[in-house]
Amino acid sequence: MAAALFVLAAGVTGAAGGLPPEPAQACAALAVLAAATAALGGSRAGLLFAAVLLGAARAPGPAAAGGPDRPVRLRGHLQAVHREAGGGWEGRLDRLRRTDGRPLDRPGRTLAFRTVQGRPPAGDLELAGLLVSDRDGSFLDRAVWSVSAPGRLGFLAALRNAVRRGLDRRLPPAEAGLGRALLLGERTGLPPERGRTWRALGLLHLLAISGLHLWLWDRILRRLLPARLAGLRLAGLVGVAALAGGRPPVVRALAAVLVRSAADHRGRRLAPASLWATALWAELVLIPARPAGLGLVLSYSATAAILARPRRRPAVGPSGRAAAAFALSGRAFLGTAPWLHAATGTLQPASLLLSPPLGAILPLRLTLLLVLFLPGVGPAAAAALVHLGRAEDALFAWADRLPGTPLPLPLCSSIVLGLLCAALLAAGSVPPGRSRRALAATAAALGGLLAAGAAVPSPPRILALPVGHGSGILIAGERGSLLFDLGAARLAPREQIEGVLLPTLRRHRAHLPGLLAPSHEDHDHVAGLRAFAADRTCFRLRTAPGRERRLGGLDPWRVRCLGSRPVGPEDRNGRGQALEVLAPDGRRAVLLGDQEGWSLRELARRLEPGPIDLLLLPHHGLATDGLPELLDRLRPRLAWASCGAGDLPLPAAAHLARRGIPLRTTLAGELVWPEEP
Mean pLDDT over the full length of the chain: 78
Chain length of the chain: 677
Cα–Cα distance measured from residue 389 to residue 134, given in angstroms and rounded to the nearest whole number: 28
pLDDT on residue 569 = 78
| Under 8 Å between Cβ of 597 and 578 | no
The dotted CATH code for 461-673 is: 3.60.15.10
What is residue 232's three-state secondary structure?
helix
Per domain, the residue ranges of the chain are 70-153, 167-408, 461-673
Ranges assigned E (strand) in 454-557:
461-464, 470-476, 481-488, 515-517, 539-540, 548-551
Top mean-pLDDT range of 95-109, 243-257, 274-288, 543-557: 543-557
* Alpha carbon distance 294, 115 (integer Å): 29
Give residue-wise pLDDT tens across range 3-35.
444 444 444 444 444 444 444 444 444 444 455
pLDDT reading at 1 higher than 60: no
The reported pLDDT for the residue numbered 464 is: 95
Residue 264 CB partners (closer than 8 Å, separation 6+): none
Instruction: Tell me the H-state helices in 113-191.
Output: 155-170, 173-184
Alpha-carbon torsion, ordered 402, 335, 342, 413, to 10 deg? 90
CA 116 remoteness from chain centre: 29
Residue 395 pLDDT more than 90?
no
Residue 434 has pLDDT above 60, yes or no: no
pTM: 0.74
Average pLDDT, integer, range 114-122: 83
CA atoms within 13 A on the CB side of 70: 8
Share of the chain above pLDDT 70, in %: 74
What's 500's DSSP letter? Answer: I
| Residues 141-158, mean pLDDT to the nearest whole number | 78
| pLDDT tens string 604-630 | 999 999 899 999 999 999 989 999 999
Distance CA(357)–CA(465), nearest Å, equals 36
pLDDT tens readout for residues 544-558: 998 999 988 888 999
Average pLDDT, stretch 110-134? 81
CATH class of segment(s) 70-153 = mainly beta
Distance CA 472, CA 458 (A): 19
Judge whether 463 and 670 are in contact, CB under 8 Å: yes
Q: Which of 192-206, 209-223, 272-286, 458-472 has the lowest mean pLDDT?
A: 192-206
- Asked if residue 219 lies in contact with residue 368, where contact means CB atoms within 8 angstroms, the answer is no
| 641 neighbors 652 (Cβ within 8 angstroms) | yes
Q: What's the Cα-to-Cα distance from 501 to each of 295, 297, 473, rounded to whole Å? A: 21, 22, 10
Least confident of 58-62, 171-175, 439-443, 644-648: 58-62
Look at 337 and 273; give whichever has higher pLDDT: 337
More confident residue, 622 or 321: 622
Q: Say which residues have a Cβ less than 8 Å from residue 26's Cβ, sequence separation at least 6.
A: 15
Q: Highest mean pLDDT: which of 45-54, 293-302, 323-332, 428-437?
A: 323-332
Tell me which of 420 and 52 has the higher pLDDT: 420
